[in-house]
Structure 1
Amino acid sequence: MVVVRMWRRLFGGPARELDPERDDLVVVASSFDDVEACSTALDRASELDREADAVLRHHLRLPAEQIEAACEIAGYDGYARAETAAAAEDLVPVLLQRVQRLDPLTCSQERSRMAGLAQRHDGIADGWDALQPPRATP
């Protein structure tokens, strides 16, 4: 079991144990500041269990006609669109999420990837957050 966890931590792989549709997930880390490093956001996340998978969500705003194409591209990397509130402006809120283990490097890479995706589709990447089940208190 330790070898499997180590392999996944080093090389990635399917992280499907955590169901992103669970209703008990809480935000354990987030950053909506373009200049804040992911390492800083993760260090500030006192409730984050770094040894467990999390649902990483990217909050984007895209023109309605670009949403399908952007979601298709994100889907190649395992992202799925989650439900969001209705659009109040020209840009529609889009929430892309996937289950993965969080560390500063992968979080930074994914944030950059989503910022590029949003930009190529005439949108904005507002930030990201991560959800996990609440930790059991001893």
Structure 2
Amino acid sequence: MVVVRMWRRLFGGSAQALDPARADLVVVASSFDDVEACSAVLDRATGLDREAEAVLRHHLRLPAGQLEAACEIAGYDGYTRAEPVRAATDELVPIILQRVQVLDPLSCSQERSRMAGLAQRHDGVADGWDALQPPRPAP
């Protein structure tokens, strides 16, 4: 299993990448608790295929004037902006940054930390993250 993950990371993953715009994606893991370890979240996740790609989404709130700069920086790491799903509060604009990757506790933790730093540098807040995959077929 570990060899498969390493192979995917080194040589570009599967032949066809997961499309984040697919209509059948469902949330398979999520955390909006700053102190909860990614390993614990992934261990309790239901429906998560750890060998398959997932859409990792980070939910941030940023000042409107900082959105473009934050999106540009996140874009260097392969993140794209998705449509916000929450109403704006406290004059901060909700934004979701997402990218496709295979999830493991280390990479998930690193990305969560990266997004928290990005939000902080742009006077915003990282609320949490979630991961989406297509539903697994019933056995």
Q: Note whether the superposition's TM-score is higher than 0.5.
A: yes
Task: Find the counterpart in structure 2 of residue 31 from structure 1.
Answer: 31
Amino acid at match of 1:38: C
2:7 touches 2:13 (CA, 8 Å); kept in 1? Answer: no
User: Residue 130 of structure 2 corresponds to which residue in structure 1?
Assistant: 129
**How many angstroms does 1:89 deviate by?**
3.6
How many aligned residue pairs are there? 135
Q: Is the partner of 2:61 in helix, strand or coil?
A: strand
| 1:105-116 paired onto structure 2 within 5 Å | 105-116=106-117
Point out 4+ residue stretches in structure 1 off by more than 3 angstroms.
Answer: 3-6, 11-16
Structure-to-structure mapping, 1:82-93, within 5 angstroms? 82-85=82-85, 87-93=88-94
For 1:4 and 1:51, locate their aligned partners in 2 and report how far apart those are by CA, in whole Å.
Answer: 8
> C-alpha displacement at 1:17, in angstroms?
1.3
Q: 1:101 to 1:74 in 2, by over 3 A?
A: same
Task: Give the SS at the match of 2:112.
Answer: helix
Cα RMSD of the aligned pairs, angstroms, is 1.8
Measured in 1, the distance between the counterparts of 2:60 and 2:129 equals 9
Q: 1:103 to 1:61 in 2, by over 3 A?
A: same
* 1:69 maps to 2:69: yes
Unaligned runs of 5+ in 1: none
Consecutive unaligned residues of structure 2, counting only runs of 5 or more, are none
Moved more, 43-52 or 77-86: 77-86
The answer to whether residue 97 in structure 2 is matched with residue 96 in structure 1 is: yes
Counterpart residue identity of residue 99, structure 1: V
Q: TM-score, normalized by length of structure 1? A: 0.91
User: How far did residue 52 of structure 1 move?
Assistant: 0.3
Which stretch of the first structure deviates more once superposed, 84-93 or 61-70? 84-93
Give per-residue Cα distances to partners, 1:23-52, cap 9 Å, x unaligned.
000000000000000000000102100010
Cα distance in structure 2, aligned partners of 1:75 and 1:51: 25
Letter in 2 for 1:115: A
